[in-house]
Amino acid sequence: MKRIKLEGNLINLRLVEKIDAEFIINLRTNKELSTFISLTNINIEEQIQWIKDYKIREKNNEEFYFIVEKKNGISCGTVRIYNINYDTKETTWGSFILDKIRPEGTANEVIELSLKFILESLKLEKVYLEVRKENYKAIHIYEKNNFIRMKEDKKSYYYLKKL
């Protein structure tokens, strides 16, 4: 794939680079924002190495990790498309976190842009995601965007969206 930048009305999505390591750590370790996500190591060198390894997966069209940017270029979140299976035409959508400086309506636009990319560029038809049961805002957004709850366990709900 060529250089990818997804442009919306409020925000753009651009692929993660090594220079984003500190932003990602700050975002994912912010106590207020990281309540419902998996723990992140705060070692900057390890985050840079993770991004280097990810860039190989990106080059092989196995995974796509985006930085959410306001129109002025200020980073305000992340979203990731991973577990891509081109044979079964499905993927997992996650690592979605937005900070407080995002424009109103950003969550819906990130979903819209990333799902359009999944359908039109990757030619996939099913998108899975997991959300913690206490994350009421996310549950509302996903259900409003027609993700269907398929199952649950003690901690999480599991959703599917057919494109």
Q: In which domain, by residue range, is 71 found?
A: 5-124
What is the DSSP secondary-structure string of 65-124? Answer: EEEEEETTS-EEEEEEEEEEETTTTEEEEEEEEE-TTSPTTHHHHHHHHHHHIIIIIS--
* 148 in a structural domain: no
* 152 in a structural domain: no
* 31 in a structural domain: yes
* 136 in a structural domain: no
- Tens-of-pLDDT digits for all 163 residues of the chain? 557 899 999 999 999 999 999 999 988 787 665 555 565 667 899 999 999 999 999 999 999 999 999 999 999 999 999 999 999 999 999 989 998 888 899 999 999 999 999 999 999 999 999 999 999 999 999 999 999 999 999 999 999 999 9
* 153 in a structural domain: no
Asked if 105 contacts 53 with a C-beta cutoff of 8 angstroms, the reply is no
| Predicted pLDDT at 120 | 96
3-state secondary structure of 45: helix
* 132 in a structural domain: no
* 113 in a structural domain: yes
| Predicted pLDDT at 34 | 57
| Predicted pLDDT at 33 | 55
CATH of the domain at 31: 3.40.630.30
| Predicted pLDDT at 38 | 60
| Predicted pLDDT at 100 | 85
* 163 in a structural domain: no
Tell me the sheet residues that pair with 132. 156
